[in-house]
C-alpha cells in the first residue's frame, strides 16, 4: 500500500495521489478489459476471473468490473484510459494488440496502476505478462506429430488468425520442426481463425481436391475435433483416424479416450474413439492467475514481470476422465470432463492451475468458485 | 429534393429567415456538437475526479485516428461513393512506418514520415480513384477488392505486431501545442476543419457537392466530374494515410491488423455527423464531432458500468438517436409519414380511398393491350440480362480450369463439385436477400448478427432433438421476420439511410445474441439438420438438392412474379414506381424481411454444418454477400441484376477460395489474389 502511495506521489500528479489515498481502505478496484466475448475461450477466462473475485479469499479484497473492447485496439486504448480515470488500482487485460497498447499502459503505470496482461503479451516494459511459451507449443506438438508419422508423410496445417504474434510464433516453430525432416511435406495450409466453424469450412475447401487417405497427419491450432468428425462423416473407420496435433478442447480429449471408456452423455462424434492426438492449449485460467498476481502486487508482494505458465500437453497416454471436475480431483491428474457436464465439445479443458485452488470445473462453466 | 424546395418556397417568411435557414442547414452539425457537449458533461459528472488537462488531451488523441479516417470517408461519401479500404490503408501505413523506421534514430524526421504515410495512402487512393472515375466501376466493389489487396500487402510487409516508431512522432502528434492549454490532437483537428472550410469554397468543393447530388447533371453542366471524383479518392487516401501516421505515433509500434476494425465506426461517425449517404450533403466538421461522440460513449458506458453485453445495443441507440435528431424537422420523412397516416385515416372515414371504390374496370379502350405482340428473338429478350450475368459464369469456368491445372481432381469426380456446391450454398442464399435489398437501392449490413442470432437461437431451442425443429424453426423465422420488419420500417417510416438502420440493427442483434446465449451458445444442431449438411443421399450432400429448389424459387420470385417486378421498379425509380401505383413502402419492407429470412436460413444451415452455433459465425459473410451480388452483375444503386448472375458470383467466390486454400501460398498472397479476381470480374462486367 505504502509503496503504491509513493509511486502515485512520485508521478507528480497530486490528483492521482490524493485519489489513491482516499481509496486505500476499501477493497481494491480492479478492472478486467477483455477483447471479445463471443468465443468459448474468452467466456471461460471471464468466468474464471469472476469466480476468483467472488471466492471467499478474494470477495472482500477485490471490487471487479469487466469491460469488453471487441476486436478494436483503439477502443481498448480508450477503455484502459477510462479505467485509469475511474480510479483503478489494477487493470487485468487481454491485449488485442501486443504493441498498440504500449503508450496507454505506460501512462497507466505512471499513475500508479498495476497492469497485467494474460494470454497475449504487452511489450511495454512496465506491464506484467502471464502467458504460455507459444514457440514451445508449436515445437512440441509438431515434434509429436513427426514422431507419430514415423518421420515421413504429408501434413495439412490449420493456423490461427494471421497477423497475430501467437499465430506467427506457433506456426513458425512448427514449420521449423517439419523443415528438419526431409520426409515431411506440408501439402496444405488453411487459415482457421481459431474457430471450429471456420476450420470446418477451410478443411472442406482443402479436401475438395483430396482424399483423407492422401494425408498422413494434421497440425492444427483449433480444429482436430472437427477434422475427426469430418473423417467419420466421410466414412472412415475410427481406427483409421489421422494423428492430429491440436487444441485442448473437451470434445477433442473425449475423442482421445479409448473407445470402450464409459462416459455420461456421449453421442458421436462427441464420444471416446481412441483418436491419436496431442492436445495443447493456452489455458483459460491465465486471466484468473493474472488477477491473483495483481492482488499480490497490490498487497506489496513482488511478482515476476513475466509468468510463463506450464504448457498443458495431454496425449493418449495421459488423458484421464474426471468424475466431478473439482480442483482436488484435477490435482490428482484428470484432465477431461464428462460430456453430460460439459455439453459443448469446443469448450477448453485445460483449466487446472496449481496456484488457484478456488477454481474447479464450476468456475469455468458458470463462474462459481469452489469455496 | 423537389418537394423539399416546394415546401420551403411555400413559407412566407422566406427572406427574413436567411439566418434560420443556415441554422437549419447546419442542424446536424449543431445537434452533433450539442450531443458531444452533453455526453462530455455527463462523463465528467460521473467521474469521481474533475476533468484534468491530461484527460482532455488523452480523449482528444483517443478519438483522433478514427476522426481523421472518417474525415477521408466523408469526402468519398460526399461524392456519392463508398470506401471500404479505409481501415486497410491505416494498417498498411502503420506497418510500413513501423518496419522501415530505424530503431537507433529516436529523432526521426516527423514531416518526412508523415509525408511517406500520406503518400502511401494517396497511392492507394489513386488506384481506387482510377477504377472508379476512369474505368467507371462501382466504388463499393473497387474498394472492397483494394481492401483485400491492401490487407494482403500489409501482411507481406509485416507478418506480426512489432517494429519501431520513433518517439519524435509521438511528441509532435500527442504532445502539446500550447502546454497546459491546447493538446496537439485538437490542433490537428482544428487544422483539418480549417482546411475543409477552405476546400469547401474552392471549385473542387463545389464540384464535389454537385457530383454527389447528381453526377449526371454535374457532368452535363460542364463540371470536371471525373477529375473531382479521382481527386476525392486520392485526398481520402491521404487522410487514411495521416490516420495511419497518427496511430503509429500513438502506439509507438506496428500491428498489421490495427486498422481493420476501424471501417464500420468510420461510417457511423460520418452518419452521426450529418453527412448523407449517397452524397451531396454534409461535411467534415460533423464527422469529426461524430467520431468523438462514438468515443465518448465508450467512456460513458464504463463510468455507468453498463454490462458489456449491452454496450453494442447502447452504441446503436446513440447512432439512431443522433441521426434522427439531426434530421428532425417539419419536412423530414418521419413527420411526412405521420401526416400521410392521418390523411389516410381521414380519407378512409370519408370513403375517398381508392381501395374503397367499386372494383369496376374504368380503363379507356386505347389502353387495352394489343392482341398480338411482335415476336422477339431469344437474344432480344435476354441479351441485356445475359450481358451482366455471363461474366461471373465465364470467370467461374476460368477458375475451375485453373483449379484443375493446379490441384487436379476437378473434372474427374464428384467430390470437388459436392464440396463447392455445399460451401457456396450459404452465399447463394444470402445473395437472394442481399440481392433483393440491393435491387431496391438499399443495403443490409445486419446480416452477420442476424445469422449468428438465428443459429444460436436454433441450437438453444431444439435441445439436440429432431422434434425440437418443429417448434424452433417457426420461432427462429418469426424472429427473423420481425428483424426484417424493423429494418424496413426504419428505412420507410423513419426515412433513415438503409446503412444506418441495418448497421444499428446489427449492433442490437449482437447484444441480443450475447444476452440470449450468456456468452457461450448452448446446444447442438439436431441429427436431421446435420444430415442435411454433412450426410449423403446417393453420394450427394442433401443440401444440394434443397439448393436446386431454392435457386429455382429465387429465379421465379425475382423474375416472374409481380413482387419481383415491383422490386426492380422501386430500384429504378422509387418516385416513378409510387406514381405508377406500386406501394413502394411495402415492397421495401418486404425485401428487408426477405433478407432477414435468408440470413436466418443461413444461420440454421451453418449450425447444421458445424454441428453447433457460435457467436462469430456470421462475421465472414457480410462483405462476400455484397461482393457476390455485384460480381453477379447487379448495380449497387439498384434496379439492375439477375439472380442467376448472383448465383454465378457465389460459385465464383467459393471456387476462388477453394483454389487459394488448396495452394501452399501464404495467406497474404491469397488475400491479394482474391482482391485481384474480384476486380477482374467487375472489369469484365463493364459496358
Closest-CA residue to A14 (of B54, B599, B329)? B54
Is residue A220 within 8 Å of A247, Cβ to Cβ? yes
State whether A138 and A126 are in the same domain.
no
Q: Considering only A311-315, B133-137, B298-302, B676-680, which range has the smallest mean pLDDT?
A: B298-302
Give the pLDDT score at B436: 97
Complete DSSP assignment for B167-228: HHHHHHHSSEEETTTEEHHHHHHHHHHHHHHHHHHSHHHHHHHHHHH-HHHHHHTT--HHHH
Complete DSSP assignment for A191-224: E-TT-HHHHHHHHHHHHTT--GGG--EEEESS-H
Q: At what angle do helices B53-78 and B203-213 cross, to 10 degrees?
A: 60
Give the pLDDT score at B210: 93
Complete DSSP assignment for A20-44: HHHHTTS-EEEEEEES--SSHHHHH
Complete DSSP assignment for A127-185: SEEEE--HHHHHHHHHHHHHHHTTT-EEEEEEE--TT-HHHHHHHHHHHHHHHT-TTEE
Contacts of B677 (CB under 8 A, 6+ apart): B395, B399, B652, B656
State the Cα–Cα distance between residues B675 and B517, nearest whole angstrom.
Answer: 35
Q: Does pLDDT of B3 surpass 60?
A: no
Torsion over CA of A287, A293, A299 and A300, rounded to 10 degrees? Answer: -150
Mean pLDDT of B94-108: 90
State whether B72 and B182 are in the same domain.
yes
Closest-CA residue to B543 (of A297, A77, A204)? A204
Residue to mutate among A46, A85, A271, with most B CBs inside 10 A, is A85
State whether B430 and B567 are in the same domain.
yes
Closest-CA residue to B242 (of B149, B111, B147)? B111
Q: Does pLDDT of A116 surpass 90?
A: yes
Grid cell for residue B172: 509532435
Q: Do A102 and B251 touch (CB under 8 A)?
A: yes
Q: Does pLDDT of B219 surpass 50?
A: yes
> Can you say whether the dihedral through the CA atoms of B183, B185, B189, B195 is positive or negative?
positive
State whether A249 and A178 are in the same domain.
yes
Beta bridge partners of A315: A278
Tracing cell 494498417 back to the chain, one arrives at B91
Q: For residue B485, what pLDDT band results from cuts at 50, 70 and 90?
A: very high
Q: Do B534 and A233 touch (CB under 8 A)?
A: yes
Q: Is residue A334 part of a domain?
A: no
Mean pLDDT of B380-403: 88
Give the pLDDT score at A123: 87
Is residue B517 within 8 Å of A40, Cβ to Cβ? no
Contacts of A161 in chain B (CB under 8 A): 257
Q: Does pLDDT of B645 surpass 50?
A: yes
State the Cα–Cα distance between residues B92 and B155, nearest whole angstrom.
Answer: 8
Q: Does pLDDT of B357 surpass 80?
A: no
Q: Is residue B590 part of a domain?
A: yes
State whether A48 and A69 are in the same domain.
yes
Contacts of A210 in chain B (CB under 8 A): 409, 662
Closest CA–CA distance from residue A16 to any residue of chain B (Å) = 9
Q: Is residue B586 part of a domain?
A: yes
Give the pLDDT score at A38: 67
Closest-CA residue to A198 (of B650, B615, B457)? B615
Q: Does pLDDT of B369 surpass 80?
A: no
Closest CA–CA distance from residue B48 to any residue of chain A (Å) = 7
Closest CA–CA distance from residue A272 to any residue of chain B (Å) = 17
Q: Is residue B227 part of a domain?
A: yes
Cα angle A159, A163, A169; round to 5: 60
In angstroms, the first-to-last Cα distance of chain A is 27
Contacts of B611 in chain A (CB under 8 A): 229, 269
Pairing of strands A277-280, A314-315: antiparallel
For A58-103, write each residue's pLDDT tens digit.
Answer: 999 999 988 887 777 878 888 898 888 888 999 999 998 888 888 8
Is residue B447 within 8 Å of B509, Cβ to Cβ? no
Contacts of A159 in chain B (CB under 8 A): 667
Nearest CA in chain B to A16: B49
> CB A177: neighbour CB atoms within 10 A?
19
State whether A113 and A160 are in the same domain.
no
Beta bridge partners of A280: A247
Is residue B647 within 8 Å of B431, Cβ to Cβ? yes
Sequence length of chain A is 371
State the Cα–Cα distance between residues B590 and B487, nearest whole angstrom.
Answer: 10
Give the pLDDT score at B147: 95
Q: Domain limits at A59?
A: 2-132+284-310
Q: Do A205 and B295 touch (CB under 8 A)?
A: no
State whether A224 and A126 are in the same domain.
no
State whether A158 and A148 are in the same domain.
yes
Q: Is residue A292 part of a domain?
A: yes
Closest CA–CA distance from residue B27 to any residue of chain A (Å) = 28
Q: State which of B277, B308, B328 marks the end of a domain.
A: B328
Is residue B108 within 8 Å of B169, Cβ to Cβ? yes
Q: For residue B17, what pLDDT band results from cuts at 50, 70 and 90?
A: low
Q: Is residue B387 part of a domain?
A: no
Residue to mutate among A67, A82, A124, A255, with most B CBs inside 10 A, is A82
Q: Is residue A335 part of a domain?
A: no
Give the pLDDT score at B605: 96
Give the pLDDT score at B43: 84
Q: Does pLDDT of B228 surpass 90?
A: yes
Q: Is residue A89 part of a domain?
A: yes
Q: Do B161 and A347 touch (CB under 8 A)?
A: no
Whether the CB of A12 is below 8 Å from some CB of chain B: the reply is no
Give the pLDDT score at B330: 66
State whether A193 and A238 are in the same domain.
yes
Return the H-helix or E-strand segment holding A280. strand A277-280
Q: Phi/psi of residue A287, each to 5°?
A: -65, -45
For A133-185, write each residue's pLDDT tens digit.
Answer: 999 999 999 999 999 999 999 999 999 888 888 898 999 999 999 999 999 99
Give the pLDDT score at B580: 87
Grid cell for residue B302: 464504463
CATH of the domain at B124: 1.10.3470
State the Cα–Cα distance between residues B417 and B111, nearest whole angstrom.
Answer: 55
Q: Is residue A344 part of a domain?
A: no
Contacts of B524 in chain A (CB under 8 A): 343
Q: Do A123 and B255 touch (CB under 8 A)?
A: no
Q: Is residue B657 part of a domain?
A: no
Highest mean pLDDT among B3-7, B106-110, B188-192: B188-192
Q: Is residue A366 part of a domain?
A: no
Q: State which of A232, A264, A280 marks the end of a domain.
A: A280
The number of domains in chain A is 2
Whether the CB of A123 is below 8 Å from some CB of chain B: the reply is yes
Q: Is residue B506 part of a domain?
A: yes
> Can you say whether the dihedral through the CA atoms of B47, B507, B75, B495 is positive or negative?
negative
Grid cell for residue B335: 413527420
Q: Is residue A140 part of a domain?
A: yes
Highest mean pLDDT among B235-249, B341-355, B365-379: B235-249
For A351-368, write each residue's pLDDT tens digit.
Answer: 999 999 999 999 998 889
> Can you say whether the dihedral through the CA atoms of B486, B487, B492, B496 is positive or negative?
positive
Give the pLDDT score at B11: 45
Grid cell for residue A345: 465439445
State the Cα–Cα distance between residues A348 and A282, nearest whole angstrom.
Answer: 9
Q: At what angle do helices B415-439 and B542-560 cross, to 10 degrees?
A: 30
The number of domains in chain B is 2
Pairing of strands A244-247, A277-280: parallel
Q: Considering only A42-51, B247-256, B320-329, B648-657, which range has the smallest mean pLDDT?
A: B320-329
Residue to mutate among B519, B608, B619, with most A CBs inside 10 A, is B519
State whether B462 and B319 are in the same domain.
no
For B44-79, write each residue's pLDDT tens digit.
Answer: 888 777 778 877 888 888 889 999 999 999 999 999
Q: For residue A313, what pLDDT band results from cuts at 50, 70 and 90?
A: very high
State whether A112 and A173 are in the same domain.
no
Tracing cell 529516436 back to the chain, one arrives at B106
Give the pLDDT score at B16: 52
Closest-CA residue to A286 (of A302, A304, A308)? A308
| Secondary structure (3-state) at B537 | strand
- Percent above pLDDT 90 for chain B: 50
State the Cα–Cα distance between residues A146 and A167, nearest whole angstrom.
Answer: 20
State whether A150 and A273 are in the same domain.
yes
213-232 in A: which are within 8 Å (CB) of B? 226, 229-230
Beta bridge partners of B182: B178
Q: For residue B5, what pLDDT band results from cuts at 50, 70 and 90?
A: very low
Q: Does pLDDT of B167 surpass 80?
A: yes
Give the pLDDT score at A7: 44
Closest CA–CA distance from residue A165 to any residue of chain B (Å) = 5
Q: Domain limits at B541?
A: 426-641
Share the mean pLDDT of chain B.
88
Q: Considering only A233-247, B349-363, B561-575, B625-639, which range has the smallest mean pLDDT?
A: B349-363
> CB B12: neighbour CB atoms within 10 A?
7
Closest CA–CA distance from residue B233 to any residue of chain A (Å) = 24
Q: Do B415 and A79 touch (CB under 8 A)?
A: no
Q: Is residue B673 part of a domain?
A: no
For A280-301, write each residue's pLDDT tens digit.
Answer: 988 999 999 999 999 999 999 9
State whether A221 and A106 are in the same domain.
no
55-94 in A: which are within 8 Å (CB) of B? 65-68, 70-75, 77-79, 81-83, 85-87
Give the pLDDT score at A23: 45
State whether A38 and A102 are in the same domain.
yes
Give the pLDDT score at B238: 97
ipTM more than 0.95? no
CATH of the domain at A289: 3.40.50.2300
Give the pLDDT score at A268: 81
Q: Does pLDDT of B201 surpass 60?
A: yes
For B516-558, write each residue's pLDDT tens digit.
Answer: 887 778 788 899 999 999 998 888 999 999 999 999 999 999 9
Q: Is residue A369 part of a domain?
A: no
Return the H-helix or E-strand segment holding B614. none
| Secondary structure (3-state) at A118 | strand
Mean pLDDT of B153-179: 89
Grid cell for residue A252: 477433442
State whether A76 and A171 are in the same domain.
no
Closest-CA residue to A221 (of A148, A133, A158, A161)? A158
Q: Is residue B260 part of a domain?
A: yes
Beta bridge partners of B642: none
Q: Does pLDDT of B386 surpass 50?
A: yes
Amino acid at each position: 500500500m505504502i509503496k503504491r502511495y509513493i509511486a502515485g506521489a512520485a508521478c507528480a500528479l497530486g490528483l492521482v495521489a490524493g485519489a489513491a489515498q482516499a481509496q486505500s481502505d476499501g477493497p481494491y478496484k480492479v478492472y478486467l478489459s477483455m477483447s471479445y466475448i463471443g468465443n468459448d475461450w474468452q467466456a471461460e477466462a471471464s468466468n474464471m476471473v469472476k469466480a476468483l473475485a467472488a471466492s471467499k479469499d478474494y470477495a472482500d479484497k477485490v471490487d471487479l468490473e469487466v469491460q469488453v473492447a471487441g476486436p478494436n485496439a483503439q477502443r481498448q486504448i480508450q477503455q484502459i484510459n477510462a479505467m485509469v480515470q475511474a480510479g483503478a488500482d489494477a487493470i487485468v487485460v487481454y491485449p488485442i494488440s501486443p504493441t498498440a497498447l504500449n503508450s496507454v499502459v505506460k501512462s497507466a503505470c505512471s499513475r500508479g496502476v498495476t497492469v497485467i496482461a494474460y494470454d497475449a503479451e504487452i511489450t511495454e516494459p512496465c506491464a506484467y505478462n502471464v502467458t504460455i511459451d507459444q514457440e514451445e507449443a508449436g515445437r512440441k506438438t509438431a515434434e509429436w506429430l513427426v514422431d507419430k508419422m514415423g518421420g515421413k508423410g504429408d501434413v495439412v496445417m490449420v493456423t490461427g488468425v494471421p497477423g497475430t504474434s501467437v499465430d506467427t510464433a506457433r506456426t513458425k516453430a512448427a514449420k521449423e520442426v517439419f523443415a528438419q525432416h526431409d520426409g515431411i511435406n506440408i501439402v496444405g495450409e488453411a487459415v482457421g481463425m481459431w474457430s471450429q466453424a471456420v476450420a470446418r469450412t477451410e478443411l472442406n475447401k482443402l479436401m475438395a481436391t483430396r482424399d483423407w487417405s492422401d494425408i498422413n497427419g494434421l497440425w492444427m491450432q483449433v480444429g482436430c475435433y472437427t477434422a475427426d468428425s469430418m473423417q467419420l462423416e466421410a466414412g472412415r473407420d475410427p481406427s483409421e483416424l489421422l494423428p492430429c496435433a491440436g487444441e485442448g478442447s473437451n470434445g477433442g480429449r473425449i475423442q482421445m479416450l479409448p473407445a470402450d471408456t464409459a462416459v455420461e452423455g456421449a453421442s458421436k462424434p462427441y464420444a471416446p474413439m481412441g483418436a491419436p492426438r496431442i492436445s495443447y492449449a493456452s489455458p483459460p485460467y491465465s486471466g484468473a492467475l493474472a488477477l491473483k498476481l495483481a492482488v499480490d502486487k497490490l498487497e506489496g508482494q513482488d511478482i515476476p514481470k513475466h509468468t510463463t505458465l506450464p504448457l498443458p500437453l495431454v496425449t493418449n497416454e495421459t488423458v484421464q476422465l474426471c468424475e466431478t471436475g473439482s480442483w482436488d480431483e484435477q490435482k490428482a491428474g484428470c484432465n477431461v470432463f464428462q460430456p453430460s457436464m460439459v455439453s459443448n465439445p469446443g469448450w477448453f479443458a485445460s483449466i487446472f492451475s496449481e496456484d488457484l485452488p478456488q477454481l474447479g470445473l464450476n468456475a469455468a462453466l458458470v463462474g462459481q468458485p469452489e469455496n | 429534393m423537389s418537394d423539399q424546395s416546394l415546401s420551403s418556397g411555400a413559407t412566407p417568411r422566406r427572406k427574413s429567415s436567411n439566418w434560420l435557414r443556415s441554422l437549419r442547414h447546419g442542424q446536424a452539425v449543431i445537434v452533433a456538437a450539442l450531443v458531444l457537449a452533453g455526453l462530455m458533461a455527463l462523463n465528467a459528472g460521473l467521474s469521481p475526479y474533475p476533468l484534468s488537462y491530461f484527460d482532455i488531451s488523452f480523449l482528444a488523441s483517443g478519438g483522433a485516428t478514427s476522426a481523421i479516417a472518417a474525415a477521408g470517408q466523408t469526402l468519398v461519401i460526399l461524392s456519392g461513393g463508398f470506401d471500404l479500404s479505409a481501415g486497410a490503408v491505416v494498417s498498411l501505413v502503420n506497418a510500413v512506418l513501423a518496419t522501415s523506421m530505424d530503431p537507433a534514430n529516436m529523432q526521426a524526421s516527423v514531416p518526412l514520415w508523415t509525408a511517406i504515410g500520406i503518400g502511401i495512402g494517396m497511392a492507394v487512393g489513386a488506384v481506387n480513384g482510377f477504377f472508379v472515375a476512369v474505368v467507371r466501376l462501382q466504388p463499393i466493389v473497387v474498394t472492397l477488392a483494394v481492401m483485400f489487396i491492401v490487407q494482403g500487402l500489409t501482411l507481406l510487409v509485416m507478418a506480426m505486431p512489432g517494429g519501431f516508431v520513433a518517439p519524435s512522432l509521438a511528441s509532435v502528434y500527442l504532445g502539446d501545442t500550447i502546454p497546459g492549454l491546447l493538446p496537439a490532437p485538437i490542433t490537428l483537428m482544428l487544422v483539418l476543419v480549417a482546411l475543409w472550410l477552405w476546400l469547401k469554397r474552392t471549385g473542387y468543393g463545389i464540384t464535389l457537392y454537385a457530383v454527389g447530388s447528381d453526377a449526371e447533371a454535374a457532368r452535363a453542366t460542364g463540371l470536371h466530374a471525373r477529375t473531382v471524383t479521382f481527386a476525392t479518392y486520392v485526398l481520402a487516401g491521404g487522410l487514411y494515410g495521416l490516420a495511419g501516421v497518427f496511430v503509429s505515433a500513438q502506439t509507438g509500434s506496428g500491428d498489421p491488423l490495427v486498422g481493420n476494425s476501424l471501417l464500420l465506426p468510420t461510417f457511423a461517425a460520418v452518419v452521426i455527423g450529418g453527412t448523407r449517404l449517397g452524397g451531396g450533403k454534409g461535411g467534415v466538421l460533423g464527422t469529426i464531432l461524430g467520431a468523438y461522440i462514438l468515443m465518448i460513449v465508450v467512456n460513458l458506458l464504463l463510468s455507468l458500468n453498463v454490462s458489456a453485453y449491452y454496450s453494442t445495443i447502447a452504441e446503436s441507440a446513440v447512432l439512431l438517436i443522433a441521426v434522427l435528431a439531426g434530421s428532425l424537422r417539419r419536412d423530414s420523412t418521419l413527420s411526412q409519414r405521420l401526416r400521410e397516416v392521418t390523411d389516410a385515416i381521414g380519407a378512409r372515414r370519408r370513403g375517398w380511398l381508392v381501395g374503397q371504390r367499386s372494383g369496376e374496370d374504368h380503363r379507356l379502350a386505347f389502353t387495352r393491350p394489343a392482341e398480338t405482340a411482335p415476336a422477339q428473338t431469344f437474344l432480344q429478350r435476354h441479351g441485356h440480362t445475359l450481358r451482366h450475368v455471363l461474366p461471373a459464369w465465364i470467370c467461374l469456368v476460368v477458375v475451375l480450369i485453373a483449379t484443375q491445372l493446379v490441384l487436379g481432381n476437378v473434372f474427374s469426380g464428384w467430390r470437388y463439385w459436392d464440396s463447392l456446391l455445399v460451401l457456396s450454398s450459404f452465399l447463394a442464399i444470402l445473395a437472394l436477400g442481399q440481392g433483393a435489398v440491393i435491387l431496391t437501392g438499399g443495403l443490409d449490413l445486419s446480416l452477420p448478427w442476424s445469422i449468428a442470432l438465428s443459429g444460436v437461437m436454433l441450437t438453444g431451442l431444439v435441445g439436440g432433438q429432431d422434434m425440437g425443429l418443429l417448434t424452433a424453426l417457426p420461432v427462429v423465422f418469426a424472429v427473423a421476420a420481425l428483424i426484417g420488419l424493423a429494418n424496413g420500417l426504419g428505412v420507410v417510416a423513419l426515412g433513415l439511410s438503409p446503412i444506418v438502420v441495418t448497421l444499428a440493427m446489427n449492433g442490437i442483434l449482437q447484444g441480443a445474441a450475447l444476452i440470449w446465449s450468456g456468452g457461450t451458445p448452448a446446444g447442438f444442431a439436431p441429427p436431421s439438420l446435420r444430415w442435411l449438411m454433412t450426410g449423403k443421399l446417393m453420394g450427394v450432400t442433401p443440401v444440394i438438392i434443397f439448393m436446386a429448389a431454392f435457386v429455382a424459387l429465387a429465379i421465379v420470385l425475382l423474375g416472374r412474379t409481380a413482387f419481383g417486378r415491383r422490386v426492380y421498379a422501386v430500384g429504378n425509380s422509387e418516385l416513378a414506381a409510387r406514381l405508377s401505383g406500386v406501394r413502394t413502402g411495402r415492397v421495401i419492407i418486404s425485401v428487408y424481411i426477405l433478407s432477414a429470412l435468408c440470413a436466418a436460413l443461413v444461420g440454421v444451415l451453418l449450425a447444421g454444418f458445424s454441428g453447433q452455433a457460435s457467436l462469430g459465425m456470421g462475421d465472414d459473410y457480410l462483405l462476400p454477400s455484397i461482393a457476390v451480388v455485384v460480381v453477379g452483375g447487379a448495380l449497387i444503386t439498384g434496379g439492375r441484376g439477375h439472380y442467376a448472375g448472383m448465383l454465378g458470383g457465389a460459385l465464383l467466390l467459393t471456387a476462388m477460395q477453394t483454389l487459394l486454400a488448396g495452394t501452399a501460398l501464404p495467406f497474404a498472397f491469397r488475400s491479394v489474389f482474391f482482391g485481384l479476381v474480384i476486380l477482374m470480374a467487375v472489369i469484365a462486367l463493364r459496358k
